[in-house]
Amino acid sequence: MSWFKKKDKEQGSAPSSETFENEETVRTEAAVPKKPAVPQPEPPKPGFIFRLRKGLSKTREILTTDIDELFTIGKKTEELLEELEERLITSDVGVEITQELIAKLSKKASRLSDANQLKEALKAEIITLLQRSAQASEKNHSGPHIVMVIGVNGVGKTTTIGKLAAKSKAGGKKVMIAAADTFRAAAIEQLTIWAERAGVDIVRHRENADPAAVAYDSVESAVARGKDIVFVDTAGRLHTKVNLMEELKKINRAISKKIPDAPHEVLLVLDATTGQNALSQARMFNEALGVTGIALTKLDGTARGGIVISICSTLNIPLKYIGVGENIEDLQDFDPVQFANALF
């Protein structure tokens, strides 16, 4: 019996070579402290000009690639301009504006000996057209600046309001949002999320409430609370076009009851991917409400970037903002020279 106990004790007290190796490994690892990982700096986000160029890549491919090819194959001037005319129309510049551009380029044709010269001449003419849409100077007024935002459903109206509210707040403005699109529950929820993200106030009623009442209450609240700017969301679809326009006019009147010279801006949001249809929408809304500015969204990834030229040159309405993505910084003030440079 004692022999078994002694044997057990001897067996228990004799560590294996594997145990020694493991202990040695632990001691060795403990003796060498690990170097802390060096934090890697985050790569800088690409700037707006880069994102704009990327967004216009399909339009640029239609225009500039073909210009290079046309010169390479040695086409005659008349044939070259005819081909260019087709490319401009394809990118949604519009027939009348395209013909105007081609007529001006044909006068300079004898002095254009290579593709780069033609591109520069075309860019100069495009800048001239883009600058037709002069930015109207804001009039001084007392009380909050009221911006009524209009447009059909699906153009990015709610998102545009959220971005503008965030940008205004970042610029030191006291901002309020009015959720007056009461016919679409998702619009109210979206605006509420944007208001929370931007840290701005929102006035909202129940679904299907009177939109004009929401607008009036928002303006009244903004005056009482000393707000600088109010963005009023509106419906983009009712049973008929007539119903929609009458509803928007009613909101307009409700706002002006509280502030006689308001709304100070009527901002129309258009979707660049709809091409020439965007022009039809602009004319329709302008006739009913007197549009004072345009925000053009979804320029990223469309081959219809020429619609910007068409809007600026055919409508006597300033193009105020262009959007090339989902982030707040992807909505920027429109700059004609910057846009033309990105197009080439």
Residues of the chain with CATH 3.40.50.300: 145-335
Residues of the chain with CATH 1.20.120.140: 48-133
Confidence bin at 137 (pLDDT 50/70/90): low
In order of 111, 163, 326, 342, the CA distances from 329 in angstroms are 41, 8, 8, 17
**pLDDT tens digit string along 309-332?**
999 888 889 999 999 988 888 999
Are 329 and 48 in contact by the 8 Å Cβ rule? The answer is yes
Two tokens at 320? 């105020």
Q: How much is the pLDDT for 190?
A: 92
Q: How much is the pLDDT for 17?
A: 42
Concatenating the DSSP letter of every residue in 297-320 gives E--TT-S-TTHHHHHHHHSSS-EE
**pLDDT tens digit string along 83-136?**
889 989 988 999 999 999 999 999 988 787 777 888 899 999 999 999 887 666
CATH class, 48-133 region: mainly alpha
Two tokens at 208? 């299907």
Q: How much is the pLDDT for 72?
A: 65
State whether residue 132 is helix, strand or coil.
coil
Share of the chain above pLDDT 90, in %: 53
Which residues are registered as beta bridge partners of 179?
233
Are 233 and 180 in contact by the 8 Å Cβ rule? The answer is yes
Tell me the average pLDDT across 247-259. 97
60: Cβ contacts below 8 Å, ≥ 6 apart: 53, 305, 342, 343, 344
Is the domain spanning 145-335 CATH 3.40.50.300? The answer is yes
Are 179 and 233 in contact by the 8 Å Cβ rule? The answer is yes
Kindly report the backbone phi and psi dihedral angles of residue 331, in degrees, each rounded to the nearest multiple of 5, phi listed first: -110, 120
Tell me the average pLDDT across 192-220. 96
Q: How much is the pLDDT for 4?
A: 40
Residue with more model confidence, 146 or 316: 146
Are 324 and 330 in contact by the 8 Å Cβ rule? The answer is yes
User: How large is the angle between the packed helices 211-224 and 241-258, nearest 10 degrees?
Assistant: 20
Could you give the CA distance from residue 295 to residue 268 in angstroms, rounded to a whole number?
A: 6
Two tokens at 232? 């009023």
Concatenating the DSSP letter of every residue in 134-178 gives PPPPPPP-SSPEEEEEE--TTSSHHHHHHHHHHHHHHTT--EEEE
Two tokens at 130? 């883009």
**pLDDT tens digit string along 294-314?**
999 999 878 788 999 999 888
Concatenating the DSSP letter of every residue in 253-276 gives HHHHHHSTT--SEEEEEEEGGGTH
Query: How many Å separate Cα 215 from the centre of its chain?
Result: 25
